[in-house]
Amino acid sequence: MTPRAQTPNTARELEHPAAREIRLEEVLHALADPVRLRIVRALAASGEEMTCSLFDLPVSKSTTTHHFRVLRESGLVSQNYRGTAKMNALRRDDLERLFPGLLDSVLASAARQEERLSSAPPRPVRTSSASG
Amino acid sequence: MTPRAQTPNTARELEHPAAREIRLEEVLHALADPVRLRIVRALAASGEEMTCSLFDLPVSKSTTTHHFRVLRESGLVSQNYRGTAKMNALRRDDLERLFPGLLDSVLASAARQEERLSSAPPRPVRTSSASG
DNA sequence: GACGTACTACGACGCTTATCGTATAAGCCC
DNA sequence: GGGCTTATACGATAAGCGTCGTAGTACGTC
């Protein structure tokens, strides 16, 4: 077969769902995994493209690839090759148009939870009648 | 054992996670299932408690029970018995305190997607050279 | 006490998924 | 070209999950 005639350097193009094909359930499912949520948060924090290898994840290389694929197929991130590296970016515009405010509230919730869980003193119950 | 001494009508109490135990990942996972998202939307729309049997779901009774359990254990809904019926309610206050705006943006996104998918004309491609 | 209603528990089944290791392909640099 | 880096593909595995049916429990009513 060898159908890849010349295809200079843009040869490796990855399939992305069109904006209208993105489904809320899949986006939520993609975000529900701790590793993937971490990836999305890192991408949002950097605001720019990042290569896969920049992420410090507690899983193997293969698993990382798998998670990036899930993120891409759900429509959360876009990926394109740049030399040997693969650049990843959040599809903020598409997501904002489809689900206004969703990504931001998830990101804010994640940040809030991290703060709450890390700095949470073993505060017993605080019985100071001030009521909650 | 028979530890249920007298316990008049509040005998059957269900375990709910405390607010501080609610995890974003579990909430997102709970919302990622179409059936459960539908339940949550119905609860939000009604604004009040609803019995399990009020929901018109495309799954069996057992499966419905399963989904309600997932919702309760994730912290999304609270359940308490009232006679033979089990009343379900969204834990809006707890969720809003933990993840401000999250639930609303998910609900809005779901509504938006439903509208988009139902009223979507099979608009071909619109090749009007306007470039995309 | 007997019956009906509402929901649960349990076991089963099949599909999906998160994980890994190894082998492989594409591109860069010398 | 040779070797290094980066990421993929593939197969395997174990766990999780959505689904169901059946049997059972709790409650209200007669």
Shortest distance between the Cα of A35 and any Cα of chain B, in A, equals 10
Model pTM score? 0.84
Query: Is B128's CB less than 7 Å from nucleic acid strand C?
Result: no
* pLDDT averaged over every residue in chain A: 84
Residue-by-residue DSSP string for B45-61: HH-S-EEGGG---SS-H
SS3 A51: strand
H-helix segments, B75-120: 92-98, 102-118
- Split at pLDDT 50, 70, 90, the class of B92 is very high
What average pLDDT score do residues B62-77 get?
Answer: 96
Share of chain B above pLDDT 70, in %: 82
CA-based nearest residue to B105, from A24, A60, A78, A48: A24
Stated in angstroms, how far is B36 CA from D21 C1'? 22
Contacts of B113 in chain A (CB under 8 A): 23-24, 98-99
- Split at pLDDT 50, 70, 90, the class of A120 is low
CA-based nearest residue to A51, from A62, A37, A65: A65
Tens digits of residue pLDDT in A80-118: 988 888 999 999 999 999 999 999 999 999 999 999 998
Q: Quick one: closest CA in B to A21, which residue?
A: B117
Tens digits of residue pLDDT in B32-55: 999 999 999 999 998 878 888 888
Tell me whether strands A50-51 and A85-90 are parallel, antiparallel or unpaired.
antiparallel
Residue B80, pLDDT > 60, answer: yes
The pLDDT, as a whole number, for residue B46 is: 87
Query: Is B57's CB less than 7 Å from nucleic acid strand C?
Result: no
A-contacting residues in B 38-97 (Cβ below 8 Å): none
SS3 A107: helix
Residue A9, pLDDT > 90, answer: no
Q: Quick one: closest CA in B to A125, which residue?
A: B20
Please state at what angle helix A34-46 crosses helix A24-31, rounded to 10 degrees: 100
Distance CA B68, CA B35 (A): 10
